Amino acid sequence: MRTNITDRYYRCFTYQSIDRVPDLEFGYWPQTIRRWLAEGMPIELTAEEQNCMFLDKLDRFFGFDTSDAVGLGVNAAMHPVFTEEVFENRGTSIIMRDSSGAIAQRFQNDVDESSIPHYLKFPVETPDDWAAMKERYRLDDPIRAVAAAEIDAARSGAAAGKMVTVFFTGFYGQLRNWMGMENLSCAFYEYPEMIHDMVEHWAELIARQVEALPADVVVDYATWWEDMASKNGPLVSPTTFREFLQPGYHRVMTELQRRGCALGMVDCDGDPHDIVANWMEEGVQIMFPLEVTAGVDPYAWRREFGKELRLRGGVGKEPLVIGGKAIDAELERLKPLLDQGGFIPHLDHLVPPDISYANYCTYLEKKRKLIGK
């Protein structure tokens, strides 16, 4: 842990002194933005901006805190990618193969029915498919190197008290991208050797780039995207996680910790409670976004795992739909966690379109009063 970092986010999650916790939120559904504009939100947004879930312009409009953290771009991208191909146009949706090789029905972003894609076929189903896909992620590919300019920026940023960050797609998340949830679920049993090889390859692709960084380059914080749980729990058991996925986390987080990495955060929707301990063993101790409607109880988690567990999110969406005293009650519910530290409250996912602009503004005003902004 570094003590010279001034970023509230880092200091909050490492239990160092701060004037207040950060004022953060987590994006908007495009339908929500269109509703708010119709309700008089005083900002000009292009059609493209209205379809952006994570819009810096809108974040600045609401006045959320910004970070001066420096990101290191570890390149784990597919190379070469698949050629995109449209097979059918249905008006409000299209059937296409995207650059990842997946074939899906994709809804147009400018219609009310816009949604996540409906996947029809994935590029990896068998060990032969994986052998072909593996060639698109060669460990010796020249693109697998962090750019010199980014290394210089990280070095100078760290010296100036800035947090140095990295972002990765997690091991379940990446295998699901290649295979889809149903294929992957079966493959743990039908092709276990292939799954071990996929995890090991993904870990090496990441870890070797970290190992290749100059010795004086620090990494303070790692984000993992997973989304591997539903309201009924994680999509793998703790035993399956430990056998297949955790070795990948161990390989990468061990190397990051040699670089000074004090914090790891996992982005996992739903209720991943049963595998929280697995992540924490590897230094991934920030859970996000703590979906209330999926049954996540941050108080119960803190009682079970102690202050080593850090929490981000946890504000339920339903009270913002109702408005008024329901917002007061929701924020009051979370106040004791603020007093404990290691907790940043914000809505537990993208703002849905059943939350009015007026209620969202009221929520922000009251939350900011709670955190002392």
Same-domain check for residues 221 and 246: yes
Which segments within 42-178 are labelled E, that is strand? Answer: 70-71, 85-89, 93-97, 103-107, 118-121, 164-169
What is the model's pLDDT at position 91?
Answer: 85
Same-domain check for residues 146 and 235: yes
Same-domain check for residues 109 and 244: no
Same-domain check for residues 309 and 330: yes
Boundary (domain end) residue, out of 101, 122, 143: 122
CATH code assigned at 29 = 3.20.20.210
Boundary (domain end) residue, out of 91, 122, 153: 122
Specify whether the CB–CB gap between 25 and 347 falls below 8 A: yes
Is residue 366 included in any domain, yes or no? yes
The range of the structural domain enclosing residue 41 comes to: 8-80+124-371
Same-domain check for residues 112 and 217: no
What is the model's pLDDT at position 108?
Answer: 72
Same-domain check for residues 194 and 107: no
- Strands 221-225 and 263-267, by their bridges, are parallel
Rg over CA atoms, the chain:
21
Q: Which residues contact 247 (CB under 8 A, 6 or more apart)?
A: 199, 200, 203
Burial class (CB in 10 A: 0-12, 13-18, 19+), 122: buried
Of 336, 348, 203, 202, residue with least CA distance to 287: 348
Is residue 1 included in any domain, yes or no? no
Same-domain check for residues 68 and 48: yes
List of long-range contacts for 321-330, beta carbons under 8 Å, 24+ apart: 321/352, 321/354, 321/355, 321/359, 323/356, 323/358, 323/359, 323/362, 327/359, 327/362, 327/363, 327/366, 328/366
Is residue 3 included in any domain, yes or no? no
pTM for the model stands at: 0.95
Of 78, 213, 196, residue with least CA distance to 138: 78
Same-domain check for residues 146 and 231: yes
Burial class (CB in 10 A: 0-12, 13-18, 19+), 126: middle
Spatial separation of the C-alpha atoms in residues 198 and 122, rounded to whole Å: 15
List of long-range contacts for 183-190, beta carbons under 8 Å, 24+ apart: 183/122, 183/124, 183/125, 185/235, 188/236, 188/240, 188/244
3-state helix, strand, coil in the chain (%, to 5): 45, 15, 40
- Secondary structure class of 372 (helix, strand, coil): coil
Same-domain check for residues 100 and 224: no
Alpha carbon separation from 99 to 17, 177, 212 (Å, rounded): 45, 12, 28
Please give the tally of structural domains in the chain: 2
Name residue 73's amino acid: G
What is the model's pLDDT at position 116?
Answer: 76
Same-domain check for residues 13 and 104: no
Spatial separation of the C-alpha atoms in residues 224 and 285, rounded to whole Å: 11
Low-confidence ranges of the chain (pLDDT < 50): none
Is residue 277 included in any domain, yes or no? yes
Same-domain check for residues 100 and 128: no
Same-domain check for residues 165 and 308: yes
Is residue 2 included in any domain, yes or no? no
